[in-house]
Structure 1
Amino acid sequence: MHLFDAYTIFKWQMPNFYRKPGLAYQKLAQHRHRDIFDRVWTGDYDDRYISAWDGRVSKLVVQAVDEIYDNNVTSTHRRTFIRNISPLFMRLANWPFNHIDYTKTGNPTSEDYPLLCLKWFIASCLITMVISSPTGVAEGTSRNGGMYDLVPYVYHGYPKVARNVREMDRTSGYAVSQTNPIAERVLRPRYLCFLREHGEPAMIMNVEEWITQYKRERDLSYIFVAYTAEQFQSTEDLMVLHQIADAAARNAGATAYWVGCSCMPDPSELTQDVYRICDIIRGAQSLIIAVSRPPNDMQGINTTDLMLQQWGQRIWTFPEVLLAPAGKEIKVYTRGSDFMQPIIVAKNQFAAKVWKNDAHIARQLIDHYEGNLILSQLELVTLALECLHKRQTTQYLPGDHSYALMGLLRVRPQIDPTDSAFQAFARLSLANGSDQLLERLICVNPKNPNQPWHCMEDAFESKLWDILPLDVGIAGIAEDDSIILDGCRAANVRWKSFAPVAYTRRDSWKRMIARTMLRLGGVVFLIAIVLLLFPLTMIVGVVLLVYSIILMALSPWLLRLIYLGKLWEQQCWFFGKYMEIDAIERQIFGGRMGRMKWTPAASPLSRHHRNEHGECIGDDPTSDPMVADMVQRGKTAGPGEQRIFTLVDTGNMTATLFQAERPPVCFLMAGAEGGMRRIIGCSYDWSTATFYRETVLRIETKFEDSMKRISRVKIGFKRKQHPFDVIDQVGEAYGQQVE
């Protein structure tokens, strides 16, 4: 009936009828896309996907139930109404039973029989007119050897950082021989404050010159003085800081001390010196902390404990404690107190005393550097990154958090001021291996849709080390906070309509008899009519006529007998939409046959229960009021808001409810966890040839071989929302193929 709606538009390509979106993206620029066959498309920004049929970048059309199709004002993509693609004779065969609610009684009741008989009679007559003998059309046609539709994608661009030097852009800032330049470690500080006689200020001197002049390399020992500029700012504050450092060095029996305000005097080396402080800490005899009440204190920071806690909130102070010499206590000097009696804090108690907000996590890191509890590199990076992002900093470069983390790791890339925070972290991860951290991170399903990339909280409650990459690897880091991932298995999602599903069933003598009877029914009827015309054969004609009428009456039952039952193998399809599982089955197979099931644990919205036999049974997710409320809110969601979708997987005959901002146009299999495979649902930004993670689902391992691998794919963590407006003001997006 939607064909007669005033807003339904006709076009030649499938689907032939659709409705325009209510919103459109603003036309800020013309964009270009080059597909796998080197065809170039240019045009305005809009929602598109890569067609599995011809590899073109095509407009995204999503089939929707009536309620959503009629309310199209909040979408930026086209919508079409749902079509039943099952054979007409199968719909007729199942039509008499459609009004029966099997979930309540399991069988027809006395109230159902009158209508059932009437519909049965009508269906019997129509089936005879529609079909004379059933054919294989009900099973559909196999494609791709039964595998999921492939994703015809190729990335033509350059990475910002590549693993292999030959893939780097020769016009970039780095030499071709430096795909990810590594910074050299320093064996000792370049400058130190050397002690002189009591009462005289320390002498700031180049260490190499000091060794050459005094020939005392063996006697060189120094302490590291940790402080924060929040507490020591003015010239007077820094003089007091030097007094504390001088006293602390003499108490420790050291020759010199290192303090940041005086030991980095060369402006040309300042940037590199800041990020090499970790090497200076590692070479120090001990660590001392100087604290003071901050100038213009409005928070009542007037005790040593509070001053120390403020010091511990800064990002650069965190690695200073972790890298302090193992087994040695940390001495805390407070401005205005007796410098001969500093407060002593055991390093293994520092987290509980100072880092109260994340003490349990920070203590694990301290134990690691103390040698009491050795973490894997993956655990180290994950826990340290979590702690660093909870701390405050005055940003010098966008990648400061990653540069602070860099000091904790063995290999350190050179600082690149053009790096974003993510790019700095990605280059650090590439340089250190980090147990394929990025490959694992992209497989995380964010617990909060707006959580930043560095937050590793998973909606499935799994840890990063629980996810195992599946023969995939990072080939490079792209310019726009995305990665180039190689080796993924991929499957396209069909949103515009359902398609006939090919399947294999085991034959039986009942099906063979039913098939023979139906195939002979039309022929017998014609023979009966002919025989009735002659007196000598009238009796035989009457018998055959009665036989054909009986077959006509039994045709719905015979058809169901032939096509009902369990399926052994099915054509693998990913269909996308949202509707009830019984309605999905009717649209694909022509009736409710109990083949489709809800997945028990494929999505954070999946639900299940234990039956009386101890078996795990998937439930309708909307049986949970919280999920049902999400479904209702999703019906009116606009761009940038979470919507509810259903992924129909005919390979496993399951349906999975999930949440995402945009319809995922493909799924990339990249990881394994908990005995299942993780597939990343991605939308496609054709203007940059980038797939963006919209959701992550879980699928059974046996379907890994049902997806074909694709070459390098550019994938991002979070897609930015393009500016949009009402379509009547912006107008539809237009484009054309130019090559």
Structure 2
Amino acid sequence: MNHECYNSQLKPFYHRKTLRYTSPSSGKCKRLIVQSVNPNLNSDWNEDNVRSNAPLSTQLAGWLCRVMLNPSYETFLWLFIWPIYFIALLVPSRRPTFSHYYKPYLMRFVGQLWAARSPREYSLQARAAGEDDGHARRVTHALYPRFLVVYDNNRRDWTRVDAEAAVRRKPYVAVTYCYSDVINSGSTEALIEQVRNATLDQGFDAYWLDLECLFEDPAQKAQDLYRMSDVYRLASFTLIILTNESAWPAWGGRVWTLPEALLSRELRYKAGNNAVTPISLIQIASLAYSHHDEESHIINSYGLGKDPLERLERNLQLKEAIWRRQSSSSQLTSQEGSSQGRYRAEKVYALMGFFEHRILPNAEETELQALARLFMANDNDRIADRMISMFPRDRRGINQWYTKEDEYGAKLWDIEPTVQVIGITSNGSLVLDGCRAAAIRWKNFPSVAYATRRTIRRLLAHALPYVASAVFVAGAVILISSIHAFPLPPLAVVGGIMAAFSLILLIFAPIFTTYAHSGRVVLARPWLIGVKGVISAQEASDYLYGYQIGDSRRTFYTPSGSPLARPSDSKFREGHVSQYDAALAAPPFDPIEGHMFTLVDTISGTVYYFRAHRPPTVCLFTGSEGGQGRFILASEECSSSELRRQTVLRMPSYISVYMHTCDWVALGGKPSGRYKQ
């Protein structure tokens, strides 16, 4: 079946639905070739053997050198390989070019934003809500209820009042309850009667109850949810209605009861036929909240004014506390479900009351879309900008941008973002601006331009095969031109000695060539190379630069860059070789975490092991944390011009300067199609 995608010039392209990548040289969508330690010919992926593109003379010299130093059953091939090596040595080959940058990522997000940070950008959500004129309201504090139920002393009756002036200056009681608790014990009429009696008993003649004060029209209902937190902020006190004392857990397990309680000036409750009794947040926590140990920080911050939390930490704790509660969005047949349900992002709308700026609810958006809009509207803490760099501990959420816990143990405030979230797509992906990106090469190991420490001995070793070749030719010419005389003249003897000595040197030329290209790599062209499977640091070095003589290490294991990393306990900061053994012993595929892969970086000379469901073709630098950069490895979904996060690595921050900045990229969202993982 043909699959449609668009290049950066918005030209359509049709292809089969296979693993694809954007070519860093042409910007075209191409089929991905994946080099693998053990290629699976029956795989849907286009797998091939691991191959090196180091100069042929260097590769052959390394093989000949190994055979000479370590004879094996392949020794008999030496005489057949040596002439090929010698020809490759003498024939000029194309030298790899040097560059200061990794291969660029040339694709960009080409779709329309579902929601945008800037009111000047086109937004599908804003247009649907009639806010596409760039004048959407954002500051929403000190609003007032649009309806109150007020007691008329003259008529001795309760009336729903919607006059703006009357509502704004009227003291009132806000009511909170658990719908299932009330319905199981009576009816909504009984609840209303109980609320009215309690309101008058407390000396008030007005109250707000969602059963009577919310609109049924979806557009109007969104406006009510928009100002829900202000209903409780401005109330004289909040009245909690319970059927009995044992109903506290049911009430405390609702999504809306946490913001209703925390944002209220004062709390009172009525259980059954008991009198209305004042109660504090601390008392409520012990009665109603099942995660009291996790929510005690929030309770103390709001209830006693002690243990103040930083705003970023507090907002995250509030988010997790609300997400632990039951949503009413599934209760569509109930009255509560009809008033506060029908919204997939109901929990976000309950959370937004704690933020300075709020968003207008939208029945069509998902939780992640609403959460992204909320975070973009309240950018002081840059929550989404930081969160995109985190590595989900639960791998099932790897494609979602929201992350509760980081695999590396970092807190959100530990991450310093280098990108800005400027919007979210209809698919739930965050659109990022300011990314530095690099393409990852998968088809083979490239021919890498590199420099080593050039000592006199290595310079001599490099020149010796060429000098020996010239001496051999000169000696052979002298010998042949003088061999007709007998006895042999001295010149012929000299020619013979020259030819014999140079021939011995040429036999050992592979050792000289290998030694000349050995030594510590002091500078290499930036490359990111991926391999399906596990290769050692030494194997990576051989594929990149060829075999070497000596103990100079060219590639290293990462001490903390991946979940499989193991630090060395020596006096130097470096990775331990045990991570290679652990990666080698691990199953090649895990249903939740995916396949085992190896990534090689030539700038830092580091090897990383990680798991992913698809080969990541793009590396994004999105932030820094704990002395290391946060780099997201993502695969491409060309049909939507979006990226899917596969893993997050901690790599040296300085390598980001070797990356090109790129245009907008969309990261996250829900995968689609055959290769959704």
TM-score, normalised on structure 1?
0.80
Shift of 1:46: 2.6
Q: Residue 605 of structure 2 corresponds to which residue in structure 1?
A: 653
Q: Can you give the 5+ residue segments of structure 1 that lack an aligned partner in the other structure? A: 1-26, 100-111, 294-303, 725-739
8 Å CA contact 1:150, 1:707 repeated in 2:
yes
Change (3 A) 1:98 1:456: farther
1:471-486 matches, cutoff 5 A = 472-486=419-433
Shift of 1:433: 1.4
Match of 1:42 among 1, 6, 14: 14
8 Å CA contact 2:345, 2:365 repeated in 1:
yes
- The one-letter code matched in structure 1 to 2:414 is D
- The one-letter code matched in structure 2 to 1:254 is F
1:422-437 matches, cutoff 5 A = 422-437=368-383
Change (3 A) 1:656 1:180: farther
Change (3 A) 1:350 1:235: closer
Q: Deviations over 1:224-260 (max 9, x none)?
A: 2210111112894334434543454356443433222
What SS does the aligned partner of 2:576 have? strand
Q: Quick one: distance in 2 between partners of 1:370 and 1:566?
A: 62
8 Å CA contact 1:95, 1:119 repeated in 2:
no
Q: Quick one: distance in 2 between partners of 1:50 and 1:211?
A: 62
- The one-letter code matched in structure 2 to 1:283 is L
Change (3 A) 1:209 1:161: closer
Q: Residue 62 of structure 1 corresponds to which residue in structure 2?
A: 34
2:263 is aligned with 1:323: yes
Change (3 A) 1:685 1:163: same
2:327 is aligned with 1:393: yes
Q: Residue 252 of structure 2 corresponds to which residue in structure 1?
A: 312
Match of 1:670 among 622, 627, 650: 622
Q: Quick one: distance in 2 between partners of 1:58 and 1:165?
A: 36
Q: Quick one: distance in 1 between partners of 2:164 and 2:517?
A: 91
Q: Residue 332 of structure 2 corresponds to which residue in structure 1?
A: none
Q: Quick one: distance in 2 between partners of 1:201 and 1:620?
A: 83
Shift of 1:371: 3.8
Change (3 A) 1:266 1:684: closer
1:82-231 matches, cutoff 5 A = 82-95=50-63, 98=66, 115=71, 126-127=81-82, 130-131=85-86, 140-143=95-98, 145-168=99-122, 172-173=127-128, 174-178=130-134, 181-182=137-138, 184-185=140-141, 187-194=143-150, 203-206=158-161, 208=163, 211=166, 220-231=170-181
Q: Deviations over 1:335-357 (max 9, x none)?
A: 14x215x3x54213433442122
8 Å CA contact 2:56, 2:88 repeated in 1:
no
Q: Greater CA deviation, 363-372 or 432-441?
A: 363-372
Shift of 1:184: 4.4
Shift of 1:690: 0.8
Instruction: Report the number of matched residues.
Output: 647
Shift of 1:84: 3.1
2:24 is aligned with 1:72: no
Q: Residue 734 of structure 1 corresponds to which residue in structure 2?
A: none
Change (3 A) 1:359 1:275: farther
8 Å CA contact 1:368, 1:375 repeated in 2:
no
8 Å CA contact 1:123, 1:556 repeated in 2:
no
Shift of 1:134: 5.2
- The one-letter code matched in structure 2 to 1:178 is G
Using CA pairs under 8 Å that are at least 6 residues apart, name the structure with larger relative contact order, 1 or 2.
1
2:558 is aligned with 1:599: yes
Change (3 A) 1:331 1:135: farther
- The one-letter code matched in structure 2 to 1:203 is W
Q: Quick one: distance in 2 between partners of 1:606 and 1:691?
A: 25
8 Å CA contact 1:570, 1:651 repeated in 2:
yes
Q: Deviations over 1:646-685 (max 9, x none)?
A: 1111111111001111100111111111111111111111
2:304 is aligned with 1:335: no
Q: Deviations over 1:301-321 (max 9, x none)?
A: xxx2x4101111110111111
8 Å CA contact 1:140, 1:501 repeated in 2:
no
Change (3 A) 1:262 1:132: closer
Q: Residue 567 of structure 1 corresponds to which residue in structure 2?
A: 521
8 Å CA contact 1:183, 1:414 repeated in 2:
no
Q: Deviations over 1:400-442 (max 9, x none)?
A: 1111111211211222222222111111111121522222222
Match of 2:357 among 411, 421, 428: 411
Change (3 A) 1:192 1:155: closer
Q: Deviations over 1:348-384 (max 9, x none)?
A: 3433442122532353265157543444443233222
8 Å CA contact 1:139, 1:503 repeated in 2:
no
1:503-514 matches, cutoff 5 A = 503-514=450-461
2:402 is aligned with 1:458: no
Change (3 A) 1:234 1:631: closer
2:600 is aligned with 1:644: no
Q: Residue 690 of structure 1 corresponds to which residue in structure 2?
A: 642
Shift of 1:714: 1.7
Shift of 1:34: 2.5
2:667 is aligned with 1:719: no
What SS does the aligned partner of 1:645 have? strand
Q: Quick one: distance in 2 between partners of 1:153 and 1:506?
A: 38
2:492 is aligned with 1:555: no
2:425 is aligned with 1:488: no
Q: Quick one: distance in 2 between partners of 1:496 and 1:201?
A: 83
Q: Quick one: distance in 2 between partners of 1:441 and 1:369?
A: 29
What SS does the aligned partner of 1:93 have? helix
What SS does the aligned partner of 2:25 have? coil
Change (3 A) 1:165 1:224: closer
8 Å CA contact 1:244, 1:339 repeated in 2:
no
Shift of 1:31: 3.9
Q: Greater CA deviation, 583-592 or 459-468?
A: 583-592
8 Å CA contact 2:472, 2:498 repeated in 1:
yes
2:284 is aligned with 1:350: yes
2:410 is aligned with 1:467: no
Change (3 A) 1:620 1:571: farther
